[in-house]
């Protein structure tokens, strides 16, 4: 167990090194000139100014030099200064990460539990109208782009019905000290809902398949023969066997969750890591981009890591020694 964890950690470190080199290299070969991205197409910047900007961004140095100076300061725990915001990368990430993680956390729990429930119900009622409805719902959602769904929810609930606000994380013109918790919840609902609804489809369909496999096994047949009810079969045999794949799937879903939150945040003008990532990428703000990429890859890696550990703990067969 300890050995496996150690191997995973080594893998994580190499992953991050590889990823950071890849990102740096990709930015370097992209046709984007950070200075042009920064000053814009019709700026009145003088050549002296452009020279200063070059110096300030450090792009007068070779890419290798740039990478090593970045990596060196990262080892000292310094993520660098965002060129665009002109403040430390770590403080920008901190201020935005909480909103993103709250959003993703809620969506993760909601989509996981609802998806699992729907999957189980669907499998237990295989072939019946309820199963068909759930399948139809899942297939429709899985082929729906998240930003489109977000826009639909926005139009219906914010513009037509006016139940929820159109965007942002707090009401307009109200001081932080006066913002009620319920206000924050109202602003939170639509983006979280958008993100949750899509996650449901994935987990529901996988759970359904797994559950059907279980229901076709001989031990379930035997249980039926003994006269166990549907509920008993689920509790005694179905739950433990189907929850493990569901949980590992849900942890592995971290990556898609992050990608989805980038889009959902754009649609709802919800200030999180996703919208910051987009700005940093488009404007060529390398330190900020690298910072967010590192944090998000750590996040996705942790998801997979937890899934593995959980599997080991729950299922003795995986433990092994290799």
Partner 1 sequence: MDKTKKYMPWKRAMSLCMVMIASVGFAVAGCSSSSAQTPSPSSAQPLDEPNTPSQAAPKKEELILAVGKTDTGVFDPKKGWGTHAQIRLTHSSLLRIDSDMNFVPDLAKSYEVSEDALTWTFPLRDDVKFSDGNPVTAEDVKFTYEMLKEDGVKFDLSFMQSIDAKDKSTIVITLKEPRSTFVSQLTEIGIVPKDLYDDNYSNNPVGSGPYKVIQYNDGQQIIMEYNEYWYGTVPQFKRLTLLLLAEDAALAAAKAGEADIVYVPPTFADQNIEGMTLLNFESIDSRGISMPTQRSGGKGKINENDVNVGNDVTSDLAIRKALSAGLSRDSIIDIALDGYGQKAFSLCDYLPWFNTETVIQDGNIEEAKRILAEGGWVDTDNDGVVEKDGLKAEFNLLFSSSDQLRSDMSLAAADLAQAFGIKINAIGMTWDEIYVKGKENAVMWGGGRHHPHQLYTMYHSSVINRGYENLTHYTNPIVDEYLDKAMQAPTQDEANKYWKLAQWDGQTGFGTLGDIPIIWLARVDHLYLANEKLDVGKQPIHSHGHEWALFGNITEWTWAD
Give contact residues for partner 1 (rule: CB under 8 A): 31-33, 36, 41-42, 44-50, 52-53, 56, 84-87, 92, 95-96, 154-155, 158-159, 161-176, 178, 180, 182-183, 185-186, 189, 266-269, 271, 275-276, 279
Separation CA 284–CA 33 (nearest Å) = 8
CB proximity list for 294: less than 8 A, separation 6 or greater: 16, 19, 20
Q: What is the nearest approach in angstroms of partner 1 to the Cβ of residue 20? A: 24
C-beta closer to partner 1: residue 187 or 237: 187
> What is the closest distance, in whole angstroms, from the C-beta atom of residue 318 to partner 1 in the complex?
43
Nearest-CA neighbor of 241 among 201, 213, 222? 213
**Which lies closer to partner 1 via its Cβ, residue 13 or residue 172?**
172
CA distance 228 to 281: 57
Give the DSSP per-residue string, 227-283.
Answer: T--HHHHIIIIIHHHHHHHHHHHHHHTHHHHHHHHHHHHHHTT--SHHHHHHHHHHH
Q: Which is nearer to partner 1, 79 or 254 (CB)?
A: 79
- The minimum distance between CB 86 and partner 1, in angstroms, equals 5
CB of 295 to partner 1, least distance (A): 17
Q: Residue 312: which of 4, 74, 59 has the closest Cα?
A: 4
Nearer to partner 1, 41 or 77 (CB): 41
Question: Toward partner 1, which CB reaches closer, 54 or 135?
Answer: 54
Under 8 Å CB-to-CB from 9, ≥6 apart: which residues? none
Minimum CB separation from partner 1 for residue 59, in Å? 12
Nearer of residues 102 and 310 to partner 1, judged by Cβ: 102
Please tell me the distance from the alpha carbon of residue 36 to that of residue 265, in angstroms, as a whole number. 27
What residues form DSSP beta bridges with 81?
88
Instruction: Report, in Å, the least distance between residue 155 CB and partner 1.
Output: 8
CB of 118 to partner 1, least distance (A): 17
What are the backbone dihedrals phi and psi of residue 88, each rounded to the nearest 5 degrees, phi first?
-55, 135
Of 38, 215, 7, 253, whose CA–CA distance to 122 is shortest?
215
Q: Which is nearer to partner 1, 244 or 295 (CB)?
A: 295
């Amino acid at each position: 167990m300890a050995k496996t964890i150690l191997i995973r950690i080594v893998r994580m470190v190499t992953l991050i090194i590889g990823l950071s080199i890849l990102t740096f290299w990709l930015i370097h070969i992209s046709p984007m000139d950070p200075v042009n991205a920064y000053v814009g197409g019709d700026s009145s910047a003088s050549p002296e100014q452009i020279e200063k900007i070059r110096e300030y961004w450090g792009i007068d140095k070779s890419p290798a030099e740039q990478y090593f100076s970045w990596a060196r300061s990262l080892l000292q725990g310094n993520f660098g200064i965002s060129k665009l915001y002109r403040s430390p990368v770590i403080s920008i990430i901190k201020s935005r990460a909480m909103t993103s993680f709250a959003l993703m956390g809620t969506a993760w729990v909601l989509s996981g539990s609802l998806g699992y429930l729907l999957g189980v119900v669907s499998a237990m009622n295989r072939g019946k109208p309820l199963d068909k409805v759930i399948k139809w719902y899942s297939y429709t959602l899985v082929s729906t782009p998240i930003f489109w769904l977000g826009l639909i929810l926005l139009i219906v609930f914010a513009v037509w019905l006016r139940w929820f606000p159109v965007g942002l994380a707090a009401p307009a013109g109200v001081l932080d000290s006066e913002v009620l918790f319920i206000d924050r919840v109202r602003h939170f609902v639509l983006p979280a809902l958008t993100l949750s609804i899509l996650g449901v489809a994935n987990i529901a369909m996988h759970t359904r398949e797994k559950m059907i496999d279980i229901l076709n096994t001989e031990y379930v047949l035997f249980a039926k023969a003994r006269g166990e009810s549907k509920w008993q079969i689920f509790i005694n045999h179905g739950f433990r066997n189907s929850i493990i794949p569901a949980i590992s799937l849900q942890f592995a879903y971290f990556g898609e969750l992050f990608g989805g939150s980038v889009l959902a945040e754009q649609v709802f003008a919800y200030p999180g890591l996703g919208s910051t990532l987009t700005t940093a990428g488009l404007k060529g703000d390398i330190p900020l981009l690298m910072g967010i990429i590192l944090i998000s890859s750590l996040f996705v890696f942790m998801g997979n890591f937890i899934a593995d550990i959980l599997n080991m703990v729950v299922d003795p067969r995986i433990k092994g020694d290799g």
